[in-house]
Structure 1
Amino acid sequence: MNRHAGVPLATGRSVVLKECSWRRVGTSLLVMFDPARTVRLADPDGRVERLLEELAAGRRQLSAVHAALVERGDVAADESIDAAIATLDGLGLVEDGATASLEPGEDPERHASTLAFFSSFASLERGRADFVRRLRGAHVLQLGAGGIGSAVVQALCGMGVGGVTIVDHDTVAVGNLARQFLYRRADLGRPKVERAVEWIDEVHPTTTANGVMRRVRCADDVADLLDGVDVVVCAIDVPSDVGLRVGEAATPRRVPSVHAGVGPFGVRYGSVLPGRSACLSCVDSGLRRRQPPDRASAEYDLAARLHRPNPSTASLVMLAGSLVSLEVVRLLTGFQAPQAAGARVTVRLDDGLVPHVDRFDRDAGCPVCGGLGDG
């Protein structure tokens, strides 16, 4: 413990020790919260272990923890334990007690695994339940209910996103069943959005689901769907420039977006933080500048004319859906900074699935985001 006479205790503050275990080894404690990371704390007189014991007794006001340690003779009445608590926070061992758990009416059992996931990112600033509540209060616009789209919907609803609007113009075909697991053979011929909403209502009734039967080709096809939306996911591959058109609608309104595609050799995805990262138009112009003009023009023309069977498989669309849904959760909760903002992230089968991140700067003259300023 460090003596900081005169440093006031946050008497109303509640602190929770995370689910950790420890063992004394000589004059040190080995403390484990994550099996992949064990920390060693010097504790020659046992005071650190006794602090952990007091915190492990349950959610406790810091004033009560302080009083217990005074009674045990570990700290003086005028000695603050704030520095010790801050050290534990820096090691990822404690979190804010006021937001560490969901209330009974918030269905904590349903969200148990998600709470456990967020515990790794919780701190004195934010408890794990705060992340879940942010998801519960969020609305995602999912463009495309094919392979990637259906995987994203399943992942986000599983984590507890409060609302999803799904947009697709297609009906379920037999070929979809190999990689689009929202659908069953009994759904052949039904609109995908109809079945997707039905699946959410059956499996995750606390998520509000809406379906829009629509083909997305231009910005106007998306603009009227953006009210109240926190993140847009674009998982549409036709036409080839649909991502740019979606960005033209979402970015000027400062709605973050995530986009992805799958090919025979891997997946590619990226995200946009309007006013902070390069938008898709910035990325597009950056890619064009990196190639000889004649080659860039030829490749875009070839892509527009290319018609080949869909090469995606279940494993690849599930990988893409997982990467995209994690990026969406980053944007919605802030548990990590977005990994793909203003970037093109490629994960290829022939390269050991090692992510390759190609980042792009914002274009000050970009017609889509150039006038947004920063922030």
Structure 2
Amino acid sequence: MLPRLKSVLVLPDAGSVVIHRRALERVHLDDEDGAVAALLGLLREGRRAEPELADAMAANGFTVSERDVAAAVAQFDEWGLLERAGDDETLPLEVRRRHESNLRFYDVTASLDVSSADQHRAVAAARVLLLGAGGVGSGVLQSMVGLGVGHVTLVDFDVVETKNLARQFAYGLAAIGERKVDAAKAWADSYSPGTVVEPVHRRVDSAAAVRELAEGHDLVVCAVDSPDDIQLMVNEACFELGIPYVVGGLAYSTLCYWSVEPGRSPCRRCLHLHRGDEGPMRDALFERNPVNRATGPVVQLLAGFVTMEAMRYLRRTEPPVAAACYHVVELADGMTTERHAWQHHPDCELCR
């Protein structure tokens, strides 16, 4: 394995080296004799294994032991500054060309243990069950196809209508009247051969139905809001199968998303029980108009957040950020953001 310094900015600064680890994060290292800068330069070349680095340092006039080099490499890797040189070349050329920007994004979480190419392979091998081909669901599908997710089982019961075209961009005028799942598959097939989209024209109305559909998948994304207890259905099915799921939605002007990882995070039933402890729901004085207020930018934003969380589960290079934690963006209040976590409930039979 050849360690290589990632493409990060490194600047000298009066006897020290400043590494721009992130746009707003700096690592300052003392470097009076220039040894750190020399080692970073050798690592940037990515042509030497650790024992060879010590020899190269000696050739440059620095006496450094192999143990010191190993300790420095381990520290740089812990800071997320190193990657495995040459790993992109383990992917076919056509894959590297199509997914160049994806691979460079994966650099952010790449390490000596898991390369960007490893992360792409994990995504390409993944099977995702996507419930819903509406605004959020079609946006998630588009993102997953662009990312090269290997297989997406797309479930929906609707047909394409003119009103959908304001915010569902996997369809066009020619698709009006078609089943959404078929129109979405046609779009995906024309966009990328790397993702198999399996269309399922079906209404999901029970945990058993979700369980049947989710069997053999690595992740479930829930982008539907009916029936009313669909989230509890998905929760029950995913717990039985032991696979994580991600949910996103819009309530009036509040955008939110969250996820559950069975066996690790509190589940959706825990939240349901906590809410029950707060007292029974009161009947509304007036029924709300069920109009869909989601515009194109809103669903694109939400679909992006949902897909990012889904990718954390598929790549496993960083923990999920929304496990048992509502992430909220208030669209009508200056785009303020909040997080609301919930805990295990002692009466939850699933989490027990």
TM-score normalised by L of structure 2? 0.92
332-341 or 167-176, which moves further after superposition?
332-341
Matched with 2:111 is 123
Deviation at 1:172, TM superposition (A): 0.2
Distance 1:116 1:33 in 2: 15
Which has the higher mean CA deviation after the structures are superposed, 136-145 or 77-86? 77-86
> Structure 1's 106 and 282: CA in aligned 2 closer, same or farther, altered over 3 A?
farther
**Cα separation, 1, equivalents of 2:225 and 2:186:** 24
Q: Unaligned regions of 5+ residues in structure 1, if any? A: 1-12
1:273 Cα deviation after fit: 0.5
Give 1:84's match in structure 2, choosing from 69, 72, 76: 72
Aligned to 2:338: 356
Question: In structure 2, do the counterparts of structure 1 residues 275 and 177 end up closer, same or farther at CA, with 3 Å as the change threshold?
Answer: same
Q: Report whether the alignment pairs 1:310 with 2:292.
A: yes
Query: In 2, distance between residues paired with 1:68 and 1:61?
Result: 10
Matches within 5 A, 1:4-153: 13-76=1-64, 80-97=68-85, 99=87, 102-105=90-93, 107-153=95-141
Cα distance in 1 for residues equivalent to 2:282 and 2:208: 26
Deviation (angstroms), 1:15: 0.6
Name 2:243's counterpart in structure 1. 255
Contact 2:266 2:351 in 1 (8 A): no
Q: Provide the residue aligned with 2:324 in structure 1.
A: 342
Query: Which of 238, 250, 275 matches 1:287?
Result: 275
Amino acid aligned to 1:316? V
Is 1:223 the counterpart of 2:204 in the alignment?
A: no
Structure 1 residues 67 and 185: alpha-carbon distance in aligned structure 2, compared to 1, 3 A threshold: same
Moved more, 79-88 or 326-335: 79-88
CA contact (8 A) 1:118 1:335 kept: no
Give the drift of 1:199: 1.2
Q: Contact 1:346–1:357 (CA<8 Å) still a contact in 2?
A: yes
- Structure 2: give runs of 5+ residues left out of the alignment: none
Kept after mapping to 1: 8 A contact 2:267/2:351: no
Q: C-alpha displacement at 1:59, in angstroms?
A: 3.9
RMSD: 2.2
> Does the alignment pair 1:162 with 2:150?
yes
1:343 and 1:34 map into 2 onto residues whose CA distance is: 25
User: Once the 2 structures are TM-superposed, how far is the Cα of residue 130 of structure 1 from its aligned partner?
Assistant: 1.9
Partner secondary structure for residue 19 of structure 2:
strand
Query: Once the 2 structures are TM-superposed, how far is the Cα of residue 143 of structure 1 from its aligned partner?
Result: 0.2
CA distance in 1, matches of 2:125, 2:59: 44
Deviation at 1:336, TM superposition (A): 2.4
**Alpha-carbon separation, structure 2, partners of 1:170 and 1:187:** 12
Q: Hey, what's the Cα distance between the residues in 2 that align with 1:78 and 1:313?
A: 58
Paired position in structure 2 for 1:298: 283
Distance 1:84 1:191, change over 3 A: same
Q: 1:58 to 1:96 in 2, by over 3 A?
A: closer
Deviations 1:100-156 (A, max 9, x none): 664235711211111111211222332222222211111110000000001111112
Letter in 1 for 2:325: A
Amino acid at match of 1:298: D
Q: Does 1:212 align with 2:193?
A: no
Report the CA distance between 1:225 and its aligned residue. 1.4
Task: Identify the range of structure 1 (22-31 vs 73-82) with the bigger mean alpha-carbon deviation.
Answer: 73-82
Structure 1 residue 99: Cα displacement:
4.6
How far apart are the structure 1 equivalents of 2:92 and 2:63?
36
Contact 1:259/1:269 (8 A) holds in 2: yes
SS of the residue 1:298 aligns to:
coil
Task: For residue 342 of structure 1, report the CA deviation from its aligned partner.
Answer: 1.5
Name whichever of 101-110 and 252-261 sits farther off: 101-110
For residues 240 and 206 of structure 1, the distance between their equivalents in structure 2, rounded to whole angstroms, comes to 35
SS in 2 for 1:109: helix
Distance 1:58 1:370, change over 3 A: closer
Distance 1:145 1:84 in 2: 49
